[in-house]
Structure 1
Amino acid sequence: MSILKIGGATVNQTPLDWEGNLKNITDAITEAKSKGIELLCFPELAITGYGSEDLFLSRWYPEKAFGQLKKLLPLTKDITVCIGVPVRIGELLFNCTAVLEDNKVLGFMAKQFLAIDGVHYEFRWFTPWKAGKITSLDFYGTSVPFGDIVFNKKGVTYGFEICEDAWRGDLRPGYRLKDRNVDLIFNPSASHFAMRKSAHREELVIESSASLDAAYFYVNLLGNEAGRMIFDGEVLFAQNGKLLVKNKLLSYKPYQVYDWDFTKSPAPSPAIDSSHNQNEEFTAAVCLALFDYMRKSRSTGFVLSLSGGADSSSIATLVAEMVKRGVRELGLDNFLKRAHLTISLDENTTIKSIVKHVLTTAYQGSENSSEDTLASARCLAESLGATFYDWKISEEVSSYTQKIETAIDRKLTWSQDDITLQNIQARVRAPVIWMLANLNNALLLATSNRSEGDVGYATMDGDTSGSISPIAAVDKDFILQWLRWAEEELGYEGLRRVNSLQPTAELRPQEQHQTDEQDLMPYPVIVEIERLAIRDRRKPADIYLILKQELDISPVQLKNYIHKFFRLWSRNQWKRERLAPSFHLDDFNVDPKTWCRFPILSGGFTEELHELDQIDE
């Protein structure tokens, strides 16, 4: 039985970086040739990047992508290259995979099902192709087949399911490819990262290789492409219901190439054992996302207001871990070169010395800050190697307070002006930390998490200030357990003090013993209400009936928590609209641009909460 060496190439692309994107592709093709690969598949929309957004609506953008495609033709001698590209026909744009071979285009396979849920809005730009339809397209004077096409290489018939195509159950194109006796199915994808998602992809690929009577090869984009979505660069190959190829995800490299000797009747071989750890997935994704965000924005590093609490400490640790992982994979010199960092290397250069250059932190204490949080922040920064500053904001708080007191002719008191006195402390921290970010040409990291963002437990233009909010897509309960995991499993001993503290904003006088959960509710309860209200889109009464069975909370208290969540969620939508961009990390998020749209002004669930109150306890 003849062997066809097939390969998958994952690439870290950037919209409008035509030169860089083309270099990643051509370098990958060169490496594939050196490995003897005969049939190579790139991910969906690899030429432009998936996250090109409304650039796809223009005429010139797809036309320029065609020009890039043409530049690849001379590289296709003795190799077949399948690569994602947008194709405009008249007023309609299609998401396609082009098949190139021996300096010509064999055809374009068009995507039949478009992703329109969660972070995806493909119908805004693309038109789905009709199953079974084939037409032709002019490619620089040559008529090329276009549509629902299958191809042949050395007696192996192969076809495509492009990303979403594979997730449509009985409607998926794979079943029609099965009827056409296809031997091999490629799935070029731009599938965003989410924790636990890789396991679902493995199931899809394995089951597809069995149910479709064809070997199945999956290849995904890589990296933080355009700011929010992260792609893990997963490459999977399965045959006869066995997973035979799986790569290490979330690489710092610009591209990766994986190969496999394909035969129609392979000898028995053991399946790959795959494991999935949610904490490790989260860590790897955020670290790569931070690295790409820094280098693609041409920033020299990050600045962080380090309070000594859970949120800011988790972000500081992730930046340090980013450096550690990047250097481990790329080497010191290549890490700095890829990150566009100018640091002189010598025998004394260490991970910590790079962290010191990349991460600058500051503890901004008020009259209500404690020695415990100062010690926590200092200890963590020193253990990571980060630059650390410590200053007081008391003078600024006093100045603003006195101005207002003079204007309104009365003293502000905690009994009457609680929120005002809390917020001014958080808000005056922003200008000076922004100054530090500007001085360093660095990105300011915002520290909000999803649980507190849901209910507006943040000061606008205070702790919400930032260029990017790395943990805004995950809940506080997850962050708290991740910090314990990072201390124990990643060896960050500087987190010991952080993990011993109870989360608190430290904005009220210390004798009031303020804690975040007293201000809101227990974080695990927020997680459960949020899951049902936002992800599952259930109304308050339904949430009560479900959680009444699941949580050991009195009915009266549970109703109060649900009331509070929906009241604060509705009231604080304007804050959510102004939060810094965040990475998509979970199976849902509350980013109003990419997942959860909700009216800024609303009736606030008045009738729905009244319905909740009528339920017998």
Structure 2
Amino acid sequence: MSNETCEELFTPISPALGAGLDGSEITLNSSGSHHELRKLHTRIDLIRQETLKSGGIYLYSNQQGCDGDRLYYDGCAMIVINGRIVAQGSQFSLNDVETVIASVVSKKFEAIDPKSHELFSTATKSPVYERVEVDFSLSSNPEGLDLRVRPSTEIAIKYHLPEEEIAYGPACWLWDYLRRSSSGGFFLPLSGGVDSCATAVCRLVYQAVSERKNPQVIKDLLRIVGEPSDSKWLPSSPQDVASRLFHTAYLGMAENSSKDTRSRAKALAKDIGAYHLDLNIDTVYYAVTTLFTTVTSYTPKFKMFGGTPASNLALQNIQARLRMVLSDLFAQLLPTVRGRNKNNPENQNPGGLLVLGSANVDESLRGYLTKYDCSSADIIPIGGVAKQDLKRFIL
């Protein structure tokens, strides 16, 4: 039995290959591999190739959840024997711990062509690993032997489509980050794209509560929405979860925002089940421009009204940056306004909301965004996703 780490699996000559040539039959990998689109294909290909080259059993486990940083670890534990997957865990789950089980028989040389002299020649030249003898047997005692147990057969590998990964990966990360942050939910200035990630959180939480009766998810959900630990409240639908966790707002201008845009935002929020606000920011906008004019005696104008390019850009940026300030204000106080702890007066922490942003990786790399606008959020769930992948996801 040998082991290798997460990064060693991705190296050109992994330790498992050398240990396999020296007679190791079982490889253990307690990994910490973070989620990236299509990365699971690479992991599985590497593990299968290792066990096909030198034979043996590969036991792969991976961290699952968020570590409080920007990375999400997507689990997907598996058991592989001679290139065949015989057990696979879920890739996106709200469970803290998952266990996969398989019955295997060590047939190390089954995967090796007996006519392959090159392999045996390589094995004789490979370094000899230090051995630590352990007085332990992996086999059952003869008295407890169950002849009905058969080796596990190969299973079809479960891959998620990239569009599914975009929905479930950020959703699991959002839930894990939320429950560790002592916040009371999410606040999103409606702008598209990211909405689907946040609604996926509500679906996953509802499934974990209603279908799987996950006690940890139920406990976390009650705490987050401000219910006492002995409360009998449970959500009746994903929309019911969204109504307690998810807050949206359309921050428009009376002169510039169309009725169609407002109505679409309202309809989207209603369909999601979110707590929605529709407001105009004209008064705040004019307060800022009036202050500037009072101090400088200069009145900035949009280009269409004879203003300079600098004035035009400055006025546009005021609107965008006011949305950031107002988003933070509403996110901090909405739980108090809604009486989050009215059913749990012992909890004195109202718990503000985490502000979600909707910038993607292409916009960030190219600088195609306004600094300190709504992209300056607490969390940007799709910040590592390319625009082309997002288009396929939305369509």
Q: Secondary structure of the residue that 1:202 maps to in structure 2? A: helix
Unaligned runs of 5+ in 2: 111-149, 336-351
Q: Secondary structure of the residue that 2:283 maps to in structure 1? A: helix
CA distance in 2, matches of 1:292, 1:161: 28
- 1:366-381 aligned within 5 A: 366=253, 367-381=255-269
* Aligned partner of 1:245 among 87, 109, 116: 87
1:311 matched residue in structure 2: 193
2:27 matched residue in structure 1: 185
Relative distance call for 1:320 and 1:268 in structure 2 (3 A) is closer
Superposed displacement of residue 303, structure 1:
1.1
CA distance in 2, matches of 1:244, 1:350: 35
CA contact (8 A) 1:303 1:433 kept: yes
Unaligned runs of 5+ in 1: 1-157, 485-617
* Aligned partner of 1:207 among 37, 49, 53: 49
Q: Secondary structure of the residue that 1:209 maps to in structure 2? A: helix
Q: Which amino acid aligns with 2:97?
A: Y
Superposed displacement of residue 252, structure 1:
0.6
1:355 matched residue in structure 2: 242
CA contact (8 A) 1:304 1:316 kept: no
CA contact (8 A) 1:323 1:355 kept: no
CA contact (8 A) 1:443 1:467 kept: yes
Q: Secondary structure of the residue that 1:260 maps to in structure 2? A: coil
CA distance in 2, matches of 1:159, 1:196: 28
1:28 matched residue in structure 2: none
CA distance in 2, matches of 1:164, 1:329: 36
CA RMSD after TM alignment:
2.3
Q: Which amino acid aligns with 1:405?
A: T
Q: Secondary structure of the residue that 2:100 maps to in structure 1? A: strand
1:164 matched residue in structure 2: 7
CA distance in 2, matches of 1:316, 1:213: 43
CA distance in 2, matches of 1:206, 1:179: 16
Q: Secondary structure of the residue that 2:102 maps to in structure 1? A: strand
Pairing 1:476–2:390 present: no
1:460 matched residue in structure 2: 371
Pairing 1:423–2:317 present: yes
Q: Which amino acid aligns with 2:357?
A: A
Pairing 1:273–2:115 present: no
CA contact (8 A) 1:313 1:377 kept: no
CA distance in 2, matches of 1:249, 1:427: 38
Q: Which amino acid aligns with 2:240?
A: S
For each residue in 1:239-268, what CA deviation from the matched residue of structure 2 results, as whole angstroms up to 9, or x when unmatched?
122111111212111101112223223988
Q: Which amino acid aligns with 2:186?
A: F
Superposed displacement of residue 227, structure 1:
2.1
Superposed displacement of residue 316, structure 1:
4.2
Superposed displacement of residue 379, structure 1:
0.6
CA distance in 2, matches of 1:430, 1:353: 27
CA contact (8 A) 1:361 1:388 kept: yes
Superposed displacement of residue 160, structure 1:
0.5
CA contact (8 A) 1:363 1:389 kept: yes
CA distance in 2, matches of 1:332, 1:232: 18
CA distance in 1, matches of 2:152, 2:241: 44
Which structure carries more strand by proportion? Answer: 1
CA distance in 2, matches of 1:313, 1:410: 40
Relative distance call for 1:480 and 1:320 in structure 2 (3 A) is farther
Superposed displacement of residue 456, structure 1:
2.4
Q: Secondary structure of the residue that 1:403 maps to in structure 2? A: helix
Q: Secondary structure of the residue that 2:79 maps to in structure 1? A: strand
Pairing 1:226–2:68 present: yes
CA distance in 1, matches of 2:61, 2:277: 45
1:435 matched residue in structure 2: 329
TM-score with structure 1 length normalisation? 0.50
For each residue in 1:456-481, what CA deviation from the matched residue of structure 2 results, as whole angstroms up to 9, or x when unmatched?
23222221232111111112332233
Q: Secondary structure of the residue that 1:303 maps to in structure 2? A: strand
CA distance in 1, matches of 2:362, 2:41: 26
For each residue in 1:583-617, what CA deviation from the matched residue of structure 2 results, as whole angstroms up to 9, or x when unmatched?
xxxxxxxxxxxxxxxxxxxxxxxxxxxxxxxxxxx
CA distance in 1, matches of 2:370, 2:179: 29
Superposed displacement of residue 172, structure 1:
1.9
- 1:526-537 aligned within 5 A: none
CA contact (8 A) 1:291 1:322 kept: no
2:119 matched residue in structure 1: none
1:404 matched residue in structure 2: 292
CA distance in 2, matches of 1:279, 1:400: 42
For each residue in 1:207-247, what CA deviation from the matched residue of structure 2 results, as whole angstroms up to 9, or x when unmatched?
11111222111111101122211111111211122111111
CA distance in 1, matches of 2:257, 2:238: 31
CA contact (8 A) 2:61 2:78 kept: yes
Relative distance call for 1:261 and 1:319 in structure 2 (3 A) is closer
The number of aligned residues is: 324
Q: Which amino acid aligns with 1:430?
A: M
CA contact (8 A) 1:223 1:288 kept: yes
TM-score with structure 2 length normalisation? 0.76
Relative distance call for 1:330 and 1:303 in structure 2 (3 A) is farther
Higher relative contact order (CA 8 A, sep 6+): 2
CA distance in 2, matches of 1:161, 1:402: 65
For each residue in 1:403-424, what CA deviation from the matched residue of structure 2 results, as whole angstroms up to 9, or x when unmatched?
2223332321222122111110
Pairing 1:290–2:290 present: no
CA contact (8 A) 1:313 1:380 kept: no
1:302 matched residue in structure 2: 186
- Greater CA deviation, 454-463 or 386-395? 454-463
Superposed displacement of residue 325, structure 1:
4.3
Q: Which amino acid aligns with 1:257?
A: T
CA contact (8 A) 1:305 1:312 kept: no
Superposed displacement of residue 319, structure 1:
4.0
Could you tell me the percent identity over the aligned residues? Answer: 27
CA distance in 1, matches of 2:249, 2:97: 36
CA distance in 2, matches of 1:348, 1:471: 27
CA distance in 1, matches of 2:11, 2:215: 45
CA distance in 2, matches of 1:419, 1:321: 40
CA distance in 1, matches of 2:45, 2:232: 45
Superposed displacement of residue 348, structure 1:
7.6
Q: Which amino acid aligns with 1:162?
A: T
Superposed displacement of residue 345, structure 1:
3.9
Q: Which amino acid aligns with 2:4?
A: E
- 1:443-592 aligned within 5 A: 443-484=354-395
Relative distance call for 1:418 and 1:331 in structure 2 (3 A) is farther
